[in-house]
Amino acid sequence: MLSSRHFFVAGTDTDVGKTLVACGILKAAEARGLRTLAIKPVAAGAENTAEGLRNQDAVMLMAAMTETLPYSQVNPVPLEPPIAPHIAAEQVGKRVTVSQLAGLCRGAMMQAADLVLIEGAGGWRVPLNRHELLSGLAVELQAPVILVVGMKLGCINHALLTADAIRADGLRIAAWVANQIDPQMSCFDENLSALKAMLGAPCLGVVPHFSDVDLTLEAVGAHLDITNL
């Protein structure tokens, strides 16, 4: 049976900070005494290591969660090419399906935890193969969605279109997070206010643009209030 507190972490685009925000949520949950797990079912952009293919996002999630899982369960489908998952899979001769990933996720989620995050790849409508989208995994798992909004020019349009697509798939947006990926964004406060008024879901917080010196997963988590999850 799936955890009663399992969420799919989606982004308004690629490179909007899904992993960073997911790790912050995990650390915020740990600070509340919760046991946490995270899964990155498919990840394109993996490096060859002595232990096999390793994706940096999955490694970050493993460092942030409290429970222990082998890498093969956290990231069961690592793909070496740093491109869209369906193209990366084709290039290495793999076929990845929603049902396959759902089974792998359910296997990992058999381990007891209070909070489980399943992190997607790219945006909501990223293809998984020529017939399925990765968003189908969230639908298969019936996972409420935590939406990471990359705060930059155009973010309102991206966020509202993504929210419409999530709801059209029959899923609930449990919450969203504003991640300040562009420190020079004009009218940041006005954009944030519009998103809070229009997204129709609670905002867990605003993750500021961190310098390399100040960035820690605990610091990210300190900006997030997970009470509403």
Residue list, annotated binding site for Mg(2+): 19, 57, 119
Q: Could you tell me which residues are annotated as the binding site for ATP?
A: 15-20, 57, 119-122, 179-180
- For residue 198, which phi and psi values (nearest 5 degrees)? -110, -20
27 is catalytic: no
- For residue 176, which phi and psi values (nearest 5 degrees)? -140, 160
Q: Which residue among 27, 40, 152, 196 is the active-site one?
A: 40
Pick the closest to residue 30 from 205, 221, 227, 228 (CA basis).
221
Kindly report each contact of residues 166-173 with a partner whose C-beta sits within 8 Å and lies 24 or more positions away, as own/partner.
166/10, 166/124, 166/135, 169/135, 169/138, 169/139, 170/139, 171/8, 171/138, 171/139, 171/142, 171/143, 171/144, 171/145, 172/144, 172/145, 173/144, 173/145, 173/146, 173/147, 173/199, 173/200, 173/201
Cβ-contact 148, 9 below 8 angstroms: yes
Strands (E), 81-199: 115-123, 145-150, 173-179
- For residue 14, which phi and psi values (nearest 5 degrees)? -80, 155
Q: Could you tell me which residues are annotated as the binding site?
A: 15-20, 57, 119-122, 179-180
Residues noted as catalytic: 40
